[in-house]
Amino acid sequence: MTGKRGIGGWLLVFLLWLALTSGLSLLVGLRQTGYKRGAMGAYGVLGVVTIVQLVRKQPSGVQLAKTLLVFVIAMLILEIGQVRTRQQGAGFTRNLIIAGLWLAYLAKSERVKNTFGSTQHDE
């Protein structure tokens, strides 16, 4: 079986998820104040730049996507003290798991490696 290549499968799902979450962050960020506005705006802008790089099949897009996901995880960890209800805690946990799973996907995916090249330098 030849290797999977190109924008498709879970990589396409990741791009759609990123487009949805980035767009919503930009819109919701406009209604926020303080650091939350900045964090949401940064996520939205970085998300859009990442999507462009991935669609253009630039290897830097994978590194940007990983950076974005680490940013999301860091922001979630910083906000853990603001969790007040079980429902908020469940949403926090869900978002942390989703970001972690996408990060693992980008690191291990055959399609990502075949489309963008190895993100690690082999011998």
pTM, whole model, 2 decimals? 0.80
Domain annotation covers residue 2: no
Q: Which of 67, 66, 51 is nearest to 18 (CA)?
A: 51
How many C-beta neighbours within 10 Å does residue 40 have?
A: 21
Q: Does 66 have pLDDT greater than 80?
A: yes
pLDDT per residue as tens digits for the range 20-59: 998 888 888 777 777 677 778 888 889 999 999 999 999 9
Domain annotation covers residue 20: yes
Which run of H or E residues covers position 68? helix 60-78
Domain annotation covers residue 93: yes
Q: How many independent structural domains does the chain possess?
A: 1
The residue range of the domain holding 28 is 9-110
pLDDT at 121: 44
Domain annotation covers residue 122: no
pLDDT-based confidence at residue 112 (cuts at 50, 70, 90) = very high
Domain annotation covers residue 123: no
Over residues 52-68, mean pLDDT: 94
Q: How far apart are CA 19 and CA 119, in angstroms?
A: 23
Over residues 66-91, mean pLDDT: 83
pLDDT per residue as tens digits for the range 86-111: 777 788 889 899 999 999 999 999 99
